Structures are given as C-alpha cells and as structure tokens.
Structure 1
Amino acid sequence: MARLTDLPYELLTLLLLCSANESLVTVCRWTYDCLRHTSPRLCYKFVRQKGKWRKPRVIASALQHRFLSVGLLDQIALHEAELLTVGKRRKNKRDELDVGDIRLPGRLFAVDSGEAMPVSKKAAKRQRGLNGKRKRRGCDDGMAANGGYAASKNQQRYDIVKRLLAMSLSVKGERGNTGLLLSAKAGNLPMVRLLLKHGADVVVGGESKALLLAVVYGHLDVAKRLVKAGAPVSSLALRYAVQKRHSQIIAWLMKLGAAPDMATIKLLDKL
C-alpha cells in the first residue's frame, strides 16, 4: 500500500483536479481518503495517462515511481487490451520504445541486510507449511506469524523483477549487467538464479565480474551458481579469495583447478 510520501506531485495534483467540487470540505475529504487508501487501480490510471495509453510507455512510467508494485503490474496486464502497442509505422522516433527496450532500474536489486532474503514461490509454500506445523506444535522460530519473509522489501523487489521479466522486459539493468552484479555482490542467490534463467550474461567483456564480486564478498553459493552458468574460474578470483581469507572459497576454487599466480602464492605464505 503506497503512503502519502510515496506519491508523486503529479498524482496529487491529478487527484485534486479529478475531485473538483464546489464544496471544498467534500473535496478535501475525498482527496484525503484517496491518499490514505491508494489502490493499484488508481496508480494504474495515473501511469496509463502519463504513458499516453501506450503499453511500453505505461510500463516505463510505472518504473519511475516508488509506488511500483506487483498489484500495479497486475493492473497493467489485466487491462492490456485497452493499451496501444507500437505499430510497424512509427511517425515519431519518440514512439519507437518497445517493451524489450525497457531496462530494469538498479533500485530493484537493492538488498536490505536487516531483512530476510527473497524466496521462490515453491520455497515460500514449503516455508509456510513448515511454519504451520511449528505453530501447531507451539514452536516459534522467530518468523512473523504472517510470513515475515514474504512481506520483506527484498521479497517485494524479487516479485516485481520476476513479474517484469515475465512481461518481456530486458534482463539487463540500466548500465548493462547491473542487476546480476548487484545481486552477486549482495549474495542474493534467488535473484541471481532468476536473472540467469532469463538470459543474463555471466561473461561480459571476457571476464565474469559477477563471480569476482561473489568471491570478494564471500558468497560461496552464488559463486557456485555463476560457475555452473558458465562463469570462468580464473587465478584472479583465487587471489581475491586469498586476500579476503575466505577459506571455503579458496578450497573450492583450487579444487576446480584455479592456478595461483606469484602474487597469490606470496599471499598464501602469509596465511
């Protein structure tokens, strides 16, 4: 549910204009109720108007605002028939935007360290079943009664990215491989799996920066998934692991055949 501070100035103005009434008290009360109970439907009407009823631009407009949610994306999909798609004849270059040209904003790959990591739908069902059994037994494992992990901001971002990728948006972020790099750095394994499933490239420019970030920050599970997807194991990754003293990653890389260079050998001697 969007809060008053999450709504852009344009939406506030639009609400005031749509509620124009001779009775100022009625207008203010109606506007106040709308702001307190902003629905995905109302947000959809706003981005629909701002996007000029063109599906790609409606989606691009939704990505710009903090009230972006799965509910808003559901509204776009539900009313897809009334939205215009880009035709073959494009009179204006500004209208050449296609859904596949839209890139995911970097903020969707942020991770709040104080909250639980996202989980897939299958894992969420298993967790809810496990929590239900523990609750019947009178056990409490620290999880919220309403499934706190599902309500976390990390989970919300994961669900939004998953829905956007299902709508054929580009798996690349604002600056190329941003999503995969940020997810690897944060150790967000579910997001890494999701991006790889939709075609994220683990090798950009001849090297895997995502793997190096996972090694530097000690995310062994993410590093294993990237190597499984084709990320090359290099001596540089081994050097970073030695510098950061990640013993498990060091042993794993050497088992895969990573050969230490002279700089790495000197670092190993100091351990």
Structure 2
Amino acid sequence: MKKALAFLRRDFLIETSYRFNFLLSLAGMLFSVLIFYFAGRIVDPSYVSDTADDYFSFALVGMAMAMYLRAGLGSFAESVREEQMMGTLEAMMATPTSLSTIVLSSAIWRFLFTSLSVLAYLLVGAAFGVSFAGANIPAALLLMALTVLAYASLGIVSASFIVVFKRGDPVNWVVSSLSILLGGVFFPYSVLPGWMQFFSRLLPMTWSLDGIRSALLKGSGFSSLWREFLALAAIAAVLVPLSLGLFSLAVRHARRTGSLVKY
C-alpha cells in the first residue's frame, strides 16, 4: 500500500506541475460536449430511445465511458514505456519492488484522474440539461467497475507487448478501434448490419454502455440489467487471469533475453 501511495503522489505532483496542459484538457472536454449538444438537436431521439431520452445524453455517456476505455487500454503500457524512456525502470527493478507492482501502481493516478474526468463530463452534461434525477447510482458504479476491470485486463495484455516488443502494440489499436466502431459509443449498435452486431456483442463496451445508460438515464436496476452484469463479469473472469499470465510470461522472456530495460 505504501508503494502504491508513493507512485500516486509522484504522478500527482508531475501532473499538477503542468497546469496549462490541465486547462487545455478542460477546454477540450467542453468543446466535445458542445459538439454533441448541438448535434443532438438534429438527431431523432427515437434512434436512441431504448437507453436514453435524446441523442445528447446518449453521446455524453458514451464519451465518458470512452475515457475509461482509453485509460484501461493505455495506462499500463504507457507506464512501462515511460519508465523505459526515462531510464528509471532499471533503477526501480534494482529495488525489491516487482515489475507488476511498478506497472500496476503507476496506473493508479491515471484511473483516478479518469474517474474525476468522467464525473466532470457528467456534471457538464447536467449543466446542459441532461437529467440524472432518477439514476440508479449503485448499479451504474458496479457496471463501471466491471468495465474498468475488463479493459484494464486488456491493458495489461497491451503492456505485455510493450515489455517484449517495445513498440508496435496491436492490442490497444485493435480493441479501441473496434470498441468505438462497434460498441455503441456515438451511435446505437442496432444501426449496424446483423453480422457486425454479432461482433459488437463480444465487446465489453457494448454491454457496459447498454447497462450504464439504462442505469443513469432510465433508472434501471439490478433485476433488469442482469444480462449486462453477467456478460461483463464473464468477460472479466476470463480476461483477468489471462492477462496476468501473459504479463508474467512477457516479463520472464524479457529477463531471460536481457531486454527488459531496453527501448
């Protein structure tokens, strides 16, 4: 726990030292919300009526959860790559701290910052008229946790590629592209051809957004969202041990070949 808090403090101090970049992030968030706010005025609400009252609220939740997608897929690989490039990975590996602890602890700040950003997105959306009055917060939070677990597992697989190959990670690109295209982030997957809808059902994002939109915007509870919970739990149950196993293999390979600190 002390090591994790030390990493969190380090990353917090680094992030807050670049205040202008933080302000640019806030401005970018506001512009994104405005784009979909005005786009929502020309989109027929009937297209998204299953999980939202209008397109703006539909897209707002999609944008917010896409941030967890990026954090889950990129945080672990980025932490490995940053430590390699800065030359600090070798020094940390000389300590009793394991590489797994280093990678996992380095991602804590990114997930915390992403959670705050998601909250900011939803608050800005509320200021523009999105109603969360009847939201089922416990159901939404549990679905978010399962979503983060699923995509963090894929992020660990992504980090495994970075440990071995240094560059050219296909996992991040493929999963993020397919999730944005097929997962219902900016448009309902029901508009896709039937064969594409089949593949969309294999993605955590599809189940996540269906459930979280219903919980936040329709007030749906656990009893009506059991399919989404079951699907995300099953995906996480498969991906968590698989990702940890692959990462362990990647680290052993890098140690054996002496390439762990090369970049």
TM-score normalised by the chain length of structure 1:
0.26
The structure in which a higher percent of residues are helix is 2
Higher relative contact order, structure no. (Cα contacts within 8 Å, ≥ 6 residues apart): 2
The structure number with the bigger radius of gyration is 1
